[in-house]
Amino acid sequence: MCGIIGIVGTKPVSERLIDSLKRLEYRGYDSAGIATIEDGRLDRRREAGKISGLEAVLAEHPLSGQTGIGHTRWATHGAPTTRNAHPHVAGRVAVVHNGIIENFAELKRELIAAGRVFESETDTEVVAQLIDAELNAGLSPLDAMKAALDRLEGAFAIAVLIKGDDDLIMGARRGPPLVVGYGDGEMYIGTDAMAVGPFTQRVAYLDEGDYVAIDHKGARIFDASGAPVERPVVTVPASAALVEKGNYRHFMEKEIHDQPDAVQHTLSSYIDPIAGVAGAPGGFDFAGIERLQIVACGTASYAGMIGRYLFERLAGLPCDVEFPSEFRYREPAVTAKTLAVGISQSGETADTLAALRWCKARGLQTAAVVNSHGSTMAREVDLFWPTNAGPEVAVASTKAFTAQVSALTALAIAAARQRGRIDAAEESRLVGILMEAPRLLAEAIFDEDVIHTLALDISRARDVLYFGRGAMYPLALEGALKLKEISYIHAEGYAAGELKHGPIALVDEQTPIIVIAPSDDLFDKTMSNMSEVIARGGRVIMITDADGAARAPETVRTIVAPTCDPLIAPLVLAVPIQLLAYHVAVQKGADVDQPRNLAKSVTVE
Ligand code: AGP
C-alpha cells in the first residue's frame, strides 16, 4: 500500500516527483521521500508524516537531479519514522519499495555477518544492501538487480537508482503493480497509471516477475527468468491522471456525489435499456455453473453479500461470500462447476488476488468485478467485469461500492433469465427498475440537512449499532465499517434478528442504534426488533422511506430515502449510510480521506 514514482528526465525532477506522490498519498501516508542522482552524486530527502512535511524539507534543501525516485509509505516493518522512510540507501544504491520482503530477517543476518551496516528497521533496506553487495562483486547494475531478485521472497514492487548511472532507473514487480510510462524523451516508472498520469498516458504494465531498466532511450523489460520480453504499450484515459477534488471538501464527499454517474456508467456495461436485457460484458452463461464463490474484502465483501441475496432469490443460483484471507487457507470444498468471483475496487488486494489464484490453480473459472481496469486482478481473471466508477481516491469506498452492487444486480438479472427463472418480460421490467437507480441515488444525495443534524449526536457516541434484515444486513455491516474507519467510533453491524441473541446487551441510553428498514416485506419484522431496542432505552435512528417513516414510532428519528423497488434499495439506502459516516467524521475533525492506520489498497497479506 505504498506509492512509488521514478522519472528519467530531461530536466530537474524533484517537483514532479512530489506532484506524483501527492496523487499516490491515498496509498499510504506514514512518511515520504525522494532521491535523485546527478554528476555522480546520490542525494536523498525524507520526512515522517505526509508529503507536505517532505515539501518543507525540500524548500530548505532542494534537489536538482534529472533522474530520481520517490515514495509515500504505509508502514509494514519499522515504525513510521524518518529513519525508516524510503528511499533506503546502501552504498551506491537507493531503493523505494511497496510490499513485503518475507525473508528479510534471514538476508539481513547474512549481510550483517558479511560486514554490511544497516541504518533502518525496515525490510526494504535489505534490497539496497543486496544490490550494492552485488555491484561491489563486479556485477553490472542489471545483473546485480537480477541476482538480488533471485534471493528475495515475498510480494513487492521496487524502483532502484544507482549512483553514477545518471540515465538509469531499474524496477521489478512480484505482486503489487508497477507500470512503465513512455514520455517524450523521458521515461517513468510508478505504482499505477495515476502515478505517471501527470506525465504520460502511454503505459506498459509489468507482468508478475518482470524487471525493467528504463533510460532516455526507452525500456528494457525482462521476465523472471531474465529473458527479454515486450509488454504492450497502451494509452490510458486522461481521467487516470486528472483526479482532483473540485469544489468538494474531501475526495469522499466528491465520490459520494459521483455515484449517479458511477452507477450509470457501470450499468452501461451490463444492460441494454432499449432491448430491456442484462448480461455480463463479453457474455457469460450462468446456466453452465452450479455455484458462485465470491471472495472480497471489507466494503467489497458487503457488496458481494448483497449480490448473494440477489443471485439466490432471483436466479436460484447458490452463492457463498467469504473473506479471501479465510477462504484460501481452509481448503474449501469447491467443484469445477463453481465460478470464483473476486470483487475489488483496486484490483490489487493481495488476499483477494491470492484466493482467485488458489481457485484458478484448482481448475475453476475466475471472474472479477473490478474498478481499476488495468489492475492485476482485471488482467489475471478469465472474466473481467468492470465497474466504471472512475478513480476512487478516498480510502473509504463509496462510489465503487454502489457500482459493484449495480453490476452484481445486473448479473443476477441476467443469471435469472439464463437459468429460466424469469421470462423476457420480467427481465425487461427488472432492467427498467435498475435503470432508475442513478436518478434515485441523486435524489438521496441531496437530502443532507437531516443527516447533518443527526451526525452531531452520533459524533459524541462511544459505540454505535447498525442493524437490518435481508439485503439491509450487509448494508448495516457497511454502515458500521464506514463509521469506524473514518470517525474512529466503535460501530458494529448486525442482522436485526440476531440482536436478541446477545448484542442487545449493549443497548443503553448512550448508544445510537441505526436501523436500516425500507418499507419492504421485512419491515414489520424489523420494527419488532426495533421495539425491543426502544424498550431498553436505545436511541433509534431509522433509515427508511416515506411509508416506513409514517409507520415509525414517535420516539424514532428518521432519515427518509427516496421510495424505490426492493431490487435497488441497497443502492439507494447506501447513500444515507455513507453521508451519515461522512458528516460524523467531519464533525469530529477527522482526516476523512486518509484515516489513520489505513491505506486505499491493501497489497500485502
Ligand atoms: C472500504 O471503505 C475500505 N477502505 C476497505 O474495506 C476496502 O473495501 C477493502 O480493503 C477492499 O479493497 P478493494 O475493493 O480495493 O479490494
For 247, counting Cβ atoms within 10 Å of its Cβ (0-12 exposed, 13-18 middle, 19+ buried), the class is exposed
Measured from the Cβ of residue 439, the count of other Cβ atoms closer than 10 Å reads 15
CB-based contacts of 251: which residues, under 8 Å, 6+ apart? 26, 243, 245, 393, 394, 593
Residue of 50, 108, 146, 600 marked active site: 600
d(CA 424, CA 434): 15
Q: Hey, what amino acid is at 355?
A: A
Q: Which three cell numbers stand for residue 20?
A: 506524483
Q: 32, 17, 99: which is closest to 594 by C-alpha?
A: 32
Ligand 1 center from residue 344 Cα (angstroms)? 7
Residues of the chain where predicted confidence (pLDDT) is lower than 70: 1, 26-29, 76, 238-244, 246-247
Ligand 1 center from residue 483 Cα (angstroms)? 14
Mutation test residue for ligand 1: of 345, 348, 593, 605, the one with most atoms within 8 Å of CB: 345
CA distances from 45 to 53, 68, 321, 493 (A): 11, 11, 45, 44
Which residue's CA is minimally distant from atom 9 of ligand 1?
298
Ligand 1 center from residue 601 Cα (angstroms)? 7
Q: Which three cell numbers stand for residue 475?
A: 448494508
Mutation test residue for ligand 1: of 349, 356, 381, 393, the one with most atoms within 8 Å of CB: 349
The reported pTM is 0.76
For 269, counting Cβ atoms within 10 Å of its Cβ (0-12 exposed, 13-18 middle, 19+ buried), the class is middle
d(CA 318, CA 226): 45
d(CA 471, CA 19): 42
Q: Which three cell numbers stand for residue 491?
A: 460501530
CA of 485, closest atom in ligand 1: 2
CA of 398, closest atom in ligand 1: 2
Q: Hey, what amino acid is at 347?
A: G
Measured from the Cβ of residue 204, the count of other Cβ atoms closer than 10 Å reads 19
pLDDT of residue 449: 80
For 332, counting Cβ atoms within 10 Å of its Cβ (0-12 exposed, 13-18 middle, 19+ buried), the class is middle
CA of 298, closest atom in ligand 1: 6
pLDDT of residue 356: 98
Residue of 2, 319, 359, 564 marked active site: 2
Q: Is 589 in a helix, a strand, or coil?
A: coil
Is 22 part of the annotated catalytic residue set?
Answer: no
Ligand 1 center from residue 395 Cα (angstroms)? 8
State the DSSP H helix or E strand holding residue 152, giving kind and residue range, or none if neither: none
pLDDT of residue 369: 98
Summarised one tens digit per residue, pLDDT across range 37-80 is 999 899 999 999 888 899 999 999 999 999 999 998 777 677 77
**Residue 359 near residue 374 (C-beta atoms within 8 A):** no
pLDDT of residue 240: 54
What residue ranges line ligand 1, CB within 6 angstroms?
297-300, 344-346, 349, 352, 395-397, 485, 601-602
**Residue 403 near residue 389 (C-beta atoms within 8 A):** yes
Ligand 1 center from residue 404 Cα (angstroms)? 12
Which residue's CA is minimally distant from atom 3 of ligand 1?
396
Q: 520, 470, 462: which is closest to 496 by C-alpha?
A: 470
d(CA 268, CA 39): 53
Q: Hey, what amino acid is at 93?
A: V
Is 2 part of the annotated catalytic residue set?
Answer: yes
Summarised one tens digit per residue, pLDDT across range 338-368 is 999 999 999 999 999 999 999 999 999 999 9
Mutation test residue for ligand 1: of 602, 603, 604, 605, the one with most atoms within 8 Å of CB: 602
CA of 395, closest atom in ligand 1: 4
State the DSSP H helix or E strand holding residue 459, giving kind and residue range, or none if neither: none
**Residue 199 near residue 242 (C-beta atoms within 8 A):** no
Question: What is the chain's Cα-based Rg?
Answer: 25
Ligand 1 center from residue 102 Cα (angstroms)? 23
pLDDT of residue 357: 97
Q: Which three cell numbers stand for residue 285?
A: 452463461
- At 198, phi and psi to the nearest 5? -65, -15
CB-based contacts of 381: which residues, under 8 Å, 6+ apart? 342, 356, 360, 366, 367, 368
CA of 400, closest atom in ligand 1: 14
Measured from the Cβ of residue 285, the count of other Cβ atoms closer than 10 Å reads 12
CA of 600, closest atom in ligand 1: 4
pLDDT of residue 453: 87
Mutation test residue for ligand 1: of 297, 343, 385, the one with most atoms within 8 Å of CB: 297
Strands (E), 49-163: 67-73, 88-90, 93-101, 154-162
pLDDT of residue 177: 84
Ligand 1 center from residue 209 Cα (angstroms)? 25
For 227, counting Cβ atoms within 10 Å of its Cβ (0-12 exposed, 13-18 middle, 19+ buried), the class is exposed
Which residue's CA is minimally distant from atom 16 of ligand 1?
344
d(CA 492, CA 529): 16
Helix axes 125-136, 141-151, angle to 10 degrees: 130
